[in-house]
Amino acid sequence: MANNIFLVLIAILCLLPLIHIAAVSFSSNAAASAGAVKLWPVEFSLKSYQYVAGREEFWRAMLVSIQRIAIGTPLTLLLISLVAYPLSKESSAFSFRGVYTWLFFLTMLFNGGFIPWYITLKEYGLLDSIWALVLPNAVPVFSLVLLLNFFRAVPKELEEAAVMDGAGHWRTLWAIYIPISKPALATLALFSMVEHWNSWFDGLILMNNPIHYPLQSYIQTIVVQRDFGEMTQDQILILSQISDRTLKSAQIFLGSLPIIAAYPFLQKYFVKGIVLGSVKG
């Protein structure tokens, strides 16, 4: 009972900031500027959402972010699975396993710098394309290490049985390791989705044309620098009636909704992952 109460309190503490952001976004300019909004909207208003959602650029940026996740997350899961499988073997089965493992691990400690990174993407012709947002982080080493350790925990007897039945490495990976690793892959998929969804800096740097901005990059531009020349008279009128605080809150709330909506579908895999490594009686 005490554990349940404790977990409920933790859940409430996690939800309070989001509830506050939502309340501010639905409040009037005066109430938000005066700091009168706590956990419930004051002088209910939808003007911030009218401004954000009334622009075609917002929905175009939303589509780019969805496209980025739809391509980037499956690609990441595919690549880290292909890399983690051989690296999870013993040195007797893969002689250079330690060398390759350290090569990947060193990238977590050192990198070539921002300018070489940009020049490399430019020389490959990736600028101003969706691949510039997907390929540079297609193999996150942290996720690779997690999956590698998960593969190492798979009982060797399962692989030996598959080999005895004539399965090769490809069949063993797709028929044994991948199905068993669904909880780990679901967790890593959520990590990848959150990273792609929240990334904004790479969009600003790698996209020359604003129509290719992902959602977070677009939100950053309208918060930091507003281009009144591209606004209609109605949008300028709405903007004059809202504050930066309500506008930013509306953008944060809208930007959080897709991840919040995706989380319940992956929750069951987290629950399985908690007990997957436990001792079975």
- Please tell me the distance from the alpha carbon of residue 191 to that of residue 41, in angstroms, as a whole number: 32
Query: What's the average model confidence in pLDDT over 186-191?
Result: 86
Residue-level pLDDT at 281: 40
How confident is the model over 223-275, as pLDDT tens digits? Answer: 665 555 555 566 556 666 666 778 778 877 887 788 777 777 766 666 555 44
- Please tell me the distance from the alpha carbon of residue 69 to that of residue 146, in angstroms, as a whole number: 20
Residue-level pLDDT at 241: 62
- Please tell me the distance from the alpha carbon of residue 182 to that of residue 36, in angstroms, as a whole number: 46
- Please tell me the distance from the alpha carbon of residue 37 to that of residue 28, in angstroms, as a whole number: 9
The Cβ-side half-sphere exposure at 62, using a 13 Å CA radius, reads: 15
**Of 93, 67, 253, which is closest to residue 159 (Cα–Cα)?**
93
- Please tell me the distance from the alpha carbon of residue 242 to that of residue 222, in angstroms, as a whole number: 14
Q: Residue 174 corresponds to which amino acid?
A: W
Which residues, at least 6 apart from 207, have a Cβ–Cβ distance to it below 8 Å? 127, 128, 132, 213, 217
The percentage of residues in the chain with a pLDDT greater than 90, rounded to a whole number, is: 19
Query: 131-168 burial, b if ≥16 CB within 10 A, otherwise e?
Result: bbbbbebebbbebbbbbbebbeeeeeeebeebeeeebe
Q: Is the pLDDT of residue 41 over 70?
A: yes
129 by Cβ neighbours in 10 Å (0-12 / 13-18 / 19+) ranks as: middle
Residue-level pLDDT at 280: 43
How confident is the model over 84-126, as pLDDT tens digits? Answer: 999 988 877 788 888 888 888 888 888 778 889 999 999 999 9
Instruction: Name which residue leads in pLDDT, 84 or 44.
Output: 84
Query: What's the average model confidence in pLDDT over 135-144?
Result: 91
pTM, two decimals, is 0.79
Residue-level pLDDT at 278: 43
Cα 148 versus chain centre, distance: 20
